[in-house]
Structure 1
Amino acid sequence: MTLYDSHNHLQRFADPAKIIAEMRAAGVAGCVVNGTGEDDWETVARLTETFPDFVQPAFGLHPWKAHLRSGNWLALLENFLDRFPNASIGECGLDGWVSSPSLEVQREVFLPQLARARERSLPVTIHALKAWEPLFAAFDQEKPPENFLLHSFGGSPELVKRLADLGAWFSFSGYFLQPRKAKVVEAFKAVPQDRLLVETDAPDMMPPEEFITHPTAEGNHPANLTRIARALAERLETGEENLVALTAENHRRFFNSDR
């Protein structure tokens, strides 16, 4: 089994080396660690340098931190992208669930990140929550790169179609295994097979208790991915080995990874 966690925040764990060892033991062969702002980009960089065979970095300014940016944030982001040629851009996006910062302030940092991803031909990982029409409006203003990922996608089958037509990829997280989120699983049945990824968003997006194989006081352990993938395979009515092989290949293609 060769699974890839296509989106997590390993930088938020106290002992990443221990977490990675447990991920490897569970069959996870690598992950993309997403930075969320100027306060954690260097930590992501150090993880990448310490575990180059396991961690692939992504550097982005999260919509929740848009109002905290410095005047030099974009130049700093570009420095990290220059420093790590295998990096992607993310996590960035739009969030209508929070009242502050406003969508307008979020858009001020999201659009330049879309532009840099397109100009550099880099994949971009997008956070979109209760902001679908603003997201499409942003795409009208700043075209996304060829590869863009809706991480922990929680939309409808109709949104899958609209986004897939623009080139979107979609990753599934264990949080949506909750019975009350069954409609999201239905949406993933509409995702093109060659655009499907799996993730944990660890330490966030905790799956239901029965899918937690690695309990930890720090939240969602990324080694839970193995059980999450098995549960998704069951719901998509495909074999676990097939889903693992499919998402591994998709991960490598999306992130231009040679692992």
Structure 2
Amino acid sequence: MKLFDAHTHLQDDRLYPEREAVLRAAAEAGVAGIAVKGRTERDWERVAALADQYPCVHPSFGLHPMHGGGRTGNWRATLIRFLLRYPAAGIGETGLDFTKEVPDHADQESVFRDHLSVAAELGRPVTIHCRGAWDRLTAVLREVSVPGGMMIHCCAAPPTALEALLEMGAFISFSGTVTRPDDHRASQIVARVPLDRLLIETDAPDHVPCSPSAEKQLKPNEPARLPDVLASVASLHGSAREKIASASSGNARRFFGFES
């Protein structure tokens, strides 16, 4: 089975120094494509370097809602420069996070809308983060056009929001959180996602899949753990692993326009 990890942060300090070993382990685990998403202006060059060096990497550039407060005054122009430099690149990770750690909701929404306007201008796919803001997220997305498509990463949407996002054409991606026995939301929504909208991801280095091996859980997550996510998604979806693998890989390649 050839897999595609739809969302990672290989530029993170926990993985970037070991990127050769990380990518080698991913290939051995059957992961043939890896989407790497920017989080701050400071890490966009690392994302670019990974895309330049490794054909399996698909880059995206954006500001994570928890890090947008540290942006520079010309961040939007810098984002456009990276996107023009990489004509196949996506936009993200961006979105809304209304948990208590990120209090400035109005600023987040302004930055998110800027990302969406750039996406519409350039026709790029957008990777969206959402926590505690599902009603506001769906309201914003109903107001704008996202011609390049959108994916909701590490999705934990309530069923009503999930249905609204699917109606708007969103792809839905699930991470290692679905392997947790206490992830009751996953049992509510994974089976509701049609095969032609389903993606899987590790969100490496975060969201390490649950495993009988405590040693594995102490390490940073990495794309080589994607088969663990696949197994849980397949079980929750009620579909064979091979079917989920084929569908999610094909969806990711279409969504990202990934040719390698």
Q: How does 1:144-155 map to 2 (within 5 A)?
A: 144-155=146-157
Higher mean alpha-carbon deviation, 76-85 vs 235-244, is at 235-244
Name the structure, 1 or 2, with higher relative contact order (CA <8 Å, separation 6+).
Answer: 2
Higher mean alpha-carbon deviation, 109-118 vs 232-241, is at 232-241
Q: CA deviation at 1:218?
A: 4.7
**What residue in structure 2 maps to residue 23 of structure 1?**
26
Residue 130 of structure 1, aligned match among 129, 132, 152: 132
Long gaps (5+) in structure 1: none
Distance 1:149 1:10, change over 3 A: same
RMSD (Å) for aligned C-alpha atoms: 1.7
1:39 matches 2:42: yes
Q: How many Å separate the matches in 1 of 2:162 and 2:216?
A: 32
CA contact (8 A) 1:64 1:101 kept: no
Q: Under a length normalisation based on structure 1, what TM-score does the superposition of the two structures give?
A: 0.94
Distance 1:123 1:211, change over 3 A: farther
- Residue-by-residue CA offset, 1:98-145 (whole Å, 9 max, x unaligned): 443511111121101001111211110000100012212322443333
* Residue identity opposite 2:229 in structure 1: I
1:77 aligns to what SS in structure 2? helix
2:41 aligns to what SS in structure 1? coil
Q: How many Å separate the matches in 1 of 2:107 and 2:101?
A: 11
* Residue identity opposite 2:164 in structure 1: R
1:10 matches 2:10: yes
Distance 1:211 1:131, change over 3 A: farther
**What residue in structure 2 maps to residue 195 of structure 1?**
197
**What residue in structure 1 maps to residue 216 of structure 2?**
215
The number of residues matched between the two structures is: 257
* Residue identity opposite 1:187 in structure 2: I
**What residue in structure 2 maps to residue 58 of structure 1?**
60
**What residue in structure 2 maps to residue 225 of structure 1?**
226
- Residue-by-residue CA offset, 1:207-252 (whole Å, 9 max, x unaligned): 212388x937551122100122022212222111111111111111
CA contact (8 A) 1:67 1:101 kept: no
Higher mean alpha-carbon deviation, 121-130 vs 154-163, is at 154-163
1:92 matches 2:94: yes
Q: How many Å separate the matches in 2 of 1:85 and 1:194?
A: 25
Higher mean alpha-carbon deviation, 80-89 vs 173-182, is at 173-182
2:73 aligns to what SS in structure 1? coil
Q: How does 1:69-218 map to 2 (within 5 A)?
A: 69-210=71-212, 215=216, 218=219
CA contact (8 A) 2:174 2:200 kept: yes
Q: How many Å separate the matches in 2 of 1:230 and 1:137?
A: 33
CA contact (8 A) 1:178 1:207 kept: yes
* Residue identity opposite 1:75 in structure 2: A
- Residue-by-residue CA offset, 1:42-69 (whole Å, 9 max, x unaligned): 0100111111x21010001110111101
CA contact (8 A) 1:176 1:184 kept: yes
Higher mean alpha-carbon deviation, 195-204 vs 12-21, is at 12-21
Q: How many Å separate the matches in 1 of 2:249 and 2:180?
A: 24
Q: Under a length normalisation based on structure 2, what TM-score does the superposition of the two structures give?
A: 0.94
**What residue in structure 2 maps to residue 48 of structure 1?**
51
* Percent identical: 37
CA contact (8 A) 1:66 1:101 kept: no
Q: How many Å separate the matches in 2 of 1:239 and 1:166?
A: 27
CA contact (8 A) 2:190 2:236 kept: no
* Residue identity opposite 2:240 in structure 1: G
Q: How many Å separate the matches in 1 of 2:227 and 2:142?
A: 37
2:234 aligns to what SS in structure 1? helix
